[in-house]
Amino acid sequence: MTRIDNWEYNLGMKVIFPGSFDPPTNGHFDIMNRAAAIFDQLEVVIADNPHKKYLFSADERFEMITTMVAEYPNVQVTIWRGLIVDFAEKIGAKVILRGVRALSDFDHEFELSMMNRALNPKIETLFMPTDQKYFVLRSSGIKEVALFGGDISEMVPPIVEQKVLARIRKQGKQPGSQG
């Protein structure tokens, strides 16, 4: 994937792109890439919800995403445990960016945006549709494909593919096995 360079406009603001990113996908990277070209500063915020079970720890997701965005001087990566509107206010961001693939994503994301707006009406949510080639990518689906031995190389960056396959093996499962 290549970076989008030489865009003729920049919205001149700080935006946050929150998510669990478990694992980060090419669809996530597409949104990061495009947002980095549009906004002055992009803060990728990795959710660390103690009530959720993740394949990768927050630190592992941080490492993968930091590697993915290393060439972007205007992208920072942070781990956050708490309300995303609190993080936005803390760093002075006025916009939460959310990627959407389909109407089902939009329904969920719209509800979240309304909740965030109720919590802090100064923070806006912008929706960015993913590129059509990443339309079907869902982190949970990618984990399942890998578990059953499917090829995920076109779905995730190489560092993520290596880590997903290593994690499956570490859990005592061989990609493609039933148990």
Of residues 37, 75, 44, 50, the one with CA closest to residue 62: 44
One digit per residue, the tens of pLDDT, for the chain of length 179 reads: 344 555 444 456 899 999 999 999 998 999 999 999 999 999 999 999 999 999 999 999 999 999 999 999 999 999 999 999 999 999 999 999 998 877 677 888 889 899 999 999 999 999 998 877 766 667 778 888 888 888 988 888 899 999 998 988 887 766 655 54
Residue in 14, 20, 28, 113 annotated catalytic? 28
Peptide bond into 158 cis (omega under 30): no
Query: What region, left, alpha or beta, does residue 77 occupy, with left being phi > 0 and alpha being psi -120 to 50 degrees?
Result: beta
Whole-number Å distance between alpha carbons of 73 and 85: 24
Q: Is-above-0.75 flag for pTM?
A: yes
Query: Which CATH number does the domain housing residue 118 bear?
Result: 3.40.50.620
- Within a domain: 55: yes
Residue in 101, 117, 138, 167 annotated catalytic? 101
Check residue 89 and give its pLDDT. 95
| 22 burial type by CB count under 10 A (0-12 exposed, 13-18 middle, 19+ buried) | buried
- Within a domain: 48: yes
Domain count of the chain?
A: 1
- Within a domain: 9: no
- Within a domain: 34: yes
- Within a domain: 170: no
101 as an active site residue: the answer is: yes
Tell me the two tokens of residue 84. Answer: 């995303």
Check residue 2 and give its pLDDT. 40
Check residue 3 and give its pLDDT. 45
Report CA-CA distances (Å) from 52 to 47, 48, 57, 108. Answer: 10, 8, 11, 18
Residue in 20, 139, 143, 163 annotated catalytic? 139
Whole-number Å distance between alpha carbons of 118 and 14: 21
139 as an active site residue: the answer is: yes
Residue in 51, 52, 53, 170 annotated catalytic? 52
- Within a domain: 132: yes
- Domain of residue 46 covers 14-136
104 as an active site residue: the answer is: no
- Within a domain: 32: yes
53 as an active site residue: the answer is: no
- Within a domain: 156: no
Check residue 175 and give its pLDDT. 60
| 137 burial type by CB count under 10 A (0-12 exposed, 13-18 middle, 19+ buried) | buried
Residue matched to tokens 């990618």: 142
